[in-house]
Structure 1
């Protein structure tokens, strides 16, 4: 499952610069790997490994 929420026109300041940037929040439902990498200096990513019971869809939890 993938859920995307976009907030257009929000200023993000990274390293003191207000150039176009993005914030991504990745929530894994019990399957987040041990090593992750990113090569973009303008992308901040929050990784969080959540227990399956914390997320629900279609009347049930995962």
Structure 2
């Protein structure tokens, strides 16, 4: 499941990049802002996944904790 989350987060970031690029190309400030927001959400979620992965490395993958 974590792999699915990582792919969805990366997809959200890439969607944001595309939306921002479309906004840049058309001069649409709303798309630019939405694209930056989507990228930020995706990046934050990816950072959360990295923290979870690091915690697994420190504490192990023990489900009893």
- Whichever structure has more strand as a proportion of its residues is 1
- Higher alpha-carbon Rg: 2
Richer in helix (by share) = 2
TM-score (norm 2): 0.23
- Alignment TM-score, normalising by the size of structure 1: 0.23
Structure with larger RCO (C-alpha < 8 A, sep 6+) = 2
